[in-house]
Amino acid sequence: MSGARPALSVRGLSMRRGAGRSVFELEVEELDLWTGGALAVLGPNGAGKSTLLRALAGLDVPRRGRIERRVAGPVTMVFQRPIPFAGSVEHNVKAALSGQALPRSERDERVAEALEHFDIARLAGRDAATLSGGELRRLSLARAFALRPAVLLLDEPFDDLDASGQEALSLDLRRAIAGTDAAVVVVTHDLRRALLLSDRIAVLREGRVAQQGEREDVLARPVDTGVARQVGMSNLIPVRFEPPSHAVVDDQHRIPVLPREEPGAVAWAGIRPERLKVDVGRGEGQPIGKGRVLTVVSDGVAVTVTVSWAGHELRTHLLAGRGLARTIAPGDTVTLSVRPEDIHLLL
């Protein structure tokens, strides 16, 4: 984020939606959106993701606190359901630019560029009402990007798309984000897509920010088990920490961790699936014992292997069609290994 500066700063924000028993409150003490950066907002349903997005878009008025614009330029939002305007695809993008006093040539250039970017230039003359779900999403994004926004808010941009549609759109969206200086916020329940697009992560829970920070930091060091599950650290094992460098699961099972000083603490050891290795040679971590393969599921790209170890079900990923992934089967006995630096202790 070299040269990045805050585009939007949230301070002491309090939002309230609904009434009576269904009232929902969102409290965000501090959150910054950076120019040229993309923040993924993760969280379970009802955590407040959409409420936050609407507040950032200025659609709802905060009860308390403030959202400060630090850069000039439009703040725009792409809704979860694509909402086309009546008329052609090209008209839709032009309509979005109606609020900007642009010379006709520049306007046409921006329209063409946005349609090209999202691969819908061939549909320019088509009535937007006849587009497929995927094409409509591309139109919504093209419309927003044509504005050259200072802040771009995306609510579940991959919702209802099939796998190949998601794949193609996420790559186009990633390229579009990389080519802009906008501060982007992506709300999505799809962790993989979120990671593809973002450099920062904020995890919401029950209307509060449970954790926020650089992507790698949040992925590797979630603050609690809730955040850990949300960011894909699915292997969570209850342990007792034994200084200086062991997490004890039971009499037979111990996990090597980096040395630290917290004697006797009851804790959780978190291991990201991609950091847990099965049947590898030397130099790839320290063995923690043998486990039995329970399930092997492939989506064509990755193989998810579930292994029973010390009474827990641990998950790991292999690359489909390569090495062990071609031969591993349920019932196999495998050796599990991890590197101490890949163990995250939640004390």
Partner 1 sequence: MNELSPILVLEVTVRTLAVCGLALAASLVIGLPIGVWLGRRRFRGRVLGVSLVNSGMGAPPVVVGLLVSMLFWRSGPFGFLEWMYTPTAMVIAQVVIALPLVVGITLAAVGALDEDWELQARTLGIPPLYRAWLLLREIRLGVLAAVIAALGGILSEVGAVLAVGGNLAGETRVLTTAILMYTQMGEFELALAMASVLLGLTLVLAGALTVVQQGGRS
Residues within the interface to partner 1 (CB under 8 A): 57-59, 74-77, 79, 81, 83, 85-87, 95-96, 98-100, 127, 129-130, 143-144, 147, 153
Cis peptide before 244 (omega within 30 of 0): yes
Instruction: Name the minimum Å distance from CB 39 to partner 1.
Output: 18
> In the chain, what is the straight-line distance between the N-terminal and C-terminal CA atoms, in Å?
31
Instruction: Name the minimum Å distance from CB 208 to partner 1.
Output: 25
Q: Closer CB to partner 1, residue 76 or residue 198?
A: 76
> Among candidates 320, 276, 324, which has minimal Cα distance to 301?
320
Q: Closer CB to partner 1, residue 129 or residue 319?
A: 129
Q: In what order do the strands lie in the sheet with 286-298?
A: 277-278, 333-338, 286-298, 302-309, 312-319
* Spatial distance between the Cα atoms of 16 and 33, rounded to a whole number of angstroms: 22
Instruction: Name the minimum Å distance from CB 24 to partner 1.
Output: 18
Instruction: Name the minimum Å distance from CB 206 to partner 1.
Output: 25
Q: Closer CB to partner 1, residue 1 or residue 59?
A: 59
Q: Closer CB to partner 1, residue 155 or residue 199?
A: 155
* Spatial distance between the Cα atoms of 33 and 22, rounded to a whole number of angstroms: 29
Q: Closer CB to partner 1, residue 76 or residue 170?
A: 76
Q: Closer CB to partner 1, residue 101 or residue 266?
A: 101
Instruction: Name the minimum Å distance from CB 7 to partner 1.
Output: 16
Instruction: Name the minimum Å distance from CB 149 to partner 1.
Output: 9
- In this structure, the number of other CB atoms found within 10 A of the CB of residue 303 comes to 20
Instruction: Name the minimum Å distance from CB 79 to partner 1.
Output: 5
How would DSSP label each residue in 268-299?
A: EEEE-GGG-EES--TTS-EEEEEEEEEEEEE-
Q: Closer CB to partner 1, residue 149 or residue 285?
A: 149
CA atoms within 13 A on the CB side of 126: 14
Instruction: Name the minimum Å distance from CB 86 to partner 1.
Output: 5
Query: Residue 228 belongs to what H/E stretch?
Result: helix 225-230
Phi, psi of 9 (to 5 degrees): -120, 130
Q: Closer CB to partner 1, residue 140 or residue 212?
A: 140
Burial (CB count within 10 angstroms: exposed 0-12, middle 13-18, buried 19+), residue 124: middle
Q: Closer CB to partner 1, residue 83 or residue 297?
A: 83
Instruction: Name the minimum Å distance from CB 200 to partner 1.
Output: 22
Helix then strand then coil, in percent of the chain rounded to 5, is 30, 35, 35
Q: Is the separation of the CB atoms in 309 and 336 below 8 Å? A: yes
